[in-house]
Structure 1
Amino acid sequence: MNKPFSHPRDASLDALAAFAKVAQHRSFSAAARELGVTPSALSHSIAQLESSMQLRLLHRTTRSVTPTGAGQLLLERLTPALADVRLALQDARDMGAMPTGRLRLNVPRQAARIVLAPILAAFHERCPQVELEIATDDRLLDIVEGGFDAGIRFGESLANGMVALPLAPVPRFIVVGTPAYLEAHGRPNTPEELTAHRCINRRFPSGAIYRWEFSQGERRIEVQTQGPLTLDDDVMIMNAALAGIGLAYIYEDMVTHALSRGELECMLADWCPPTEGFHLYYPGRRHQSPALRVLIELLTQNKRA
């Protein structure tokens, strides 16, 4: 027995979903196969929908099915709305479920250490059945294409269409050097004076040499430094600075202990404000897994702490 999807007077969710499938496939038979109903039941449901709306939504011939102007407009509005409904239903089903499976994250090396390391134990306590994979990579890449559930990047480098969650702590880059180096070479008082110093350069994964960035009020400065050493790893940069090879531009939290012990000194502090900060990001229209929700909750709690 062919059962229609909705009452003639009611543009139900089932009827609207049926219309969307037919309009997307441009075929009653293909849509019927996907929905698991007969073509005649589907045709009857669409006819009821059109009758209830008093509006033709599909042009039908023996060879083709195409949306009318009104049908195309309805389809464009329905497609994202139906996707949201499906996500809402899945989220509701997941609320009471124990997180399982794998959660894959792509993050810069420093974000893994600064942001993720403090909450790893709590995450595994909350999600003992989840395999958490953290790929540390300083390159900018497409997390969807790479098969990742989420990523962490600085806010200014996020792609469009992503949901972004600001994370704490907000890192700051500072200029540091050993007391012996500063005694021998002097202390820079402005960013421009760095060009006269031996600096430890940083090379990005793209191959570009990083230009040290500074700001004070509305003034922004980028300095192309020169020096005897170019590295792409923060730990090596820190160790090179501690060895007195030159000045380094590095995450402040990496050298906190060295600063407190007097092994390094900070310069140009008033030119080194906090950065825009790391953001957790993920596709806006993708289903948010229970494991990702737990990670977001823990990162949010850590931000408030």
Structure 2
Amino acid sequence: MFSVTTHQFSNTVFSMKNSESLDDLAIFHTVVREGGFRAAARRLGLAPSKVSTTVARMEAALGVSLLRRTTRSMATTDAGRALADRIGPLLAGLDAARAEVAETADSVRGRLKLNVPGAVMPGVLPSLLAAFHGRHPEVEVEIVVENGIVDIVEAGCDAGIRYDEVLAQDMVSIPIGPRTQQIALAAAPDYLEARGTPAAPRELTEHQAIRYRLPDGPLLAWHLVEGGRIVTAEPISRLILGVNAIDTGLGFARAGIGIIATFRNWLEKDLANGDLMPVLPENWPARGGPRLYYPSRHAPRPLRAFIEVCQNHHDG
């Protein structure tokens, strides 16, 4: 088995061209950290061929094999792992030094890429992004809308927004938007006049409903509070929408197609003007609001600025 000493690596690494060594080492470390060339390329914004060529050039300069490659997998050699372990803290120190220098800048620049579910698009993000752009107008924000569970690092995003039940355990998260949200039921007056207003959750089995389906197949359950416990209602699914269209359901509810279950704050205007009527309001459940999540290491300056805005923007 191949072994290598720290002294050997120090001599060999610094014998590489100084103009290339720092960037090359950073690329190699990202390959090891991300577990592959394609994932590293996405993270770095480089072509996979550029990443592969860089590692091959390093191996030629060092005279050792750093990675074992097959058509389906990649693993570090003993030498590669030793090099990655040695340079990791050095690269982290450089990132921290850059961040400290950037802190002295008068304005934040760059790009912030967020991965969010459709549920937060209309009610949570507009006011937050308005506040963020007001303070940091030179940051470009890109929003990727996905409703499934997403590895934000693999997806090339700086941060994501999800609810507690699907947050990755190795991520840092903070509340964003309303701290709690209530799930409310509502229907058009014409629908309730024609079919009656349910007086208890069990009566929902006789009613038409507008339901949402998750990307992996199941319908979103209707949970209600009754007698101090959570009960599940099974209405008649008259219209089923994908959660990617979650903000379109109110239009169908106003048209009288059936009862809809959605966030209470989305219903406030319709309830106030009478376009929709509350259904079983004493049985509406509450849940925790969405959370911004991101890797714990080395948050870029635009993300740190956005985190600060989120922490100062209390809603609900």
Verify same fold: TM over 0.5. yes
Q: What SS does the aligned partner of 1:275 have?
A: strand
When residues 34 and 225 of structure 1 are mapped into structure 2, their CA distance, relative to the original with a 3 A threshold, is farther
The question of 1:94 aligning with 2:105 is answered no
Amino acid at match of 1:193: E
> 1:179 corresponds to which residue?
189
> 2:149 corresponds to which residue?
140
| Residue 82 of structure 1, CA deviation | 7.4
Matches within 5 A, 1:99-248: 99-169=108-178, 170-216=180-226, 218-232=228-242, 233-248=245-260
Whole-Å separation in 1 of the counterparts to 2:137 and 2:296: 26
| Residue 141 of structure 1, CA deviation | 1.1
Amino acid at match of 2:305: V
Whole-Å separation in 2 of the counterparts to 1:115 and 1:195: 32
For structure 2, which runs of at least 5 residues remain unmatched after alignment?
Answer: 17-77
The question of 1:268 aligning with 2:276 is answered no
Higher CA-based Rg: 1
Of residues 292, 305, 314, the one that matches 1:280 is: 292
| Residue 85 of structure 1, CA deviation | 5.6
Greater CA deviation, 81-90 or 170-179?
Answer: 81-90
Q: What SS does the aligned partner of 1:227 have?
A: strand
Whole-Å separation in 2 of the counterparts to 1:303 and 1:106: 21
Q: What SS does the aligned partner of 2:251 have?
A: helix
Amino acid at match of 1:29: Q
| Residue 90 of structure 1, CA deviation | 4.1
Q: Deviations 1:138-182 (Å, cap 9, x if unpaired)?
A: 222111110000000012210111000012223322000112211
Greater CA deviation, 191-200 or 148-157?
Answer: 191-200
> 2:43 corresponds to which residue?
none
Q: What SS does the aligned partner of 1:133 have?
A: strand
Q: Is the 8 A contact 1:174 1:252 kept in 2?
A: yes
Q: What SS does the aligned partner of 1:128 have?
A: coil
When residues 277 and 32 of structure 1 are mapped into structure 2, their CA distance, relative to the original with a 3 A threshold, is farther
Q: Is the 8 A contact 1:156 1:276 kept in 2?
A: no
For structure 1, which runs of at least 5 residues remain unmatched after alignment?
Answer: 1-23, 38-65, 67-71
Matches within 5 A, 1:29-48: 29-34=8-13
Q: Deviations 1:190-243 (Å, cap 9, x if unpaired)?
A: 222211111111111222211112235751222333222111223321111101
Of residues 290, 295, 300, the one that matches 2:306 is: 295
Q: Deviations 1:46-78 (Å, cap 9, x if unpaired)?
A: xxxxxxxxxxxxxxxxxxxx9xxxxx9xxx9x9
Tell me the TM-score normalised to structure 2 length.
Answer: 0.69
Whole-Å separation in 2 of the counterparts to 1:174 and 1:32: 66
Q: Is the 8 A contact 1:91 1:288 kept in 2?
A: no
Tell me the TM-score normalised to structure 1 length.
Answer: 0.71
When residues 295 and 108 of structure 1 are mapped into structure 2, their CA distance, relative to the original with a 3 A threshold, is same
Identity percentage over the alignment? 34
Q: Is the 8 A contact 2:119 2:247 kept in 1?
A: no
| Residue 133 of structure 1, CA deviation | 0.3
Q: What SS does the aligned partner of 2:232 have?
A: strand
| Residue 27 of structure 1, CA deviation | 4.8
Greater CA deviation, 180-189 or 135-144?
Answer: 180-189
Whole-Å separation in 1 of the counterparts to 2:125 and 2:15: 45
Q: Is the 8 A contact 1:201 1:210 kept in 2?
A: yes
| Residue 284 of structure 1, CA deviation | 1.4
Matches within 5 A, 1:252-267: 252-267=264-279
Amino acid at match of 1:93: V
Amino acid at match of 1:302: H
Q: What SS does the aligned partner of 1:236 have?
A: helix
Q: Is the 8 A contact 2:212 2:240 kept in 1?
A: yes
When residues 91 and 247 of structure 1 are mapped into structure 2, their CA distance, relative to the original with a 3 A threshold, is same
Q: Deviations 1:99-131 (Å, cap 9, x if unpaired)?
A: 222110000122122222102233223323321
Amino acid at match of 1:94: A
Q: What SS does the aligned partner of 1:181 have?
A: helix
**How many pairs are equivalent?**
247
Q: What SS does the aligned partner of 2:191 have?
A: helix
| Residue 34 of structure 1, CA deviation | 3.8
The alignment's C-alpha RMSD in Å is 3.1
Whole-Å separation in 1 of the counterparts to 2:218 and 2:257: 21
Superposition misfits of 4+ residues, deviation over 3 angstroms? 24-27, 31-37, 78-91, 215-218
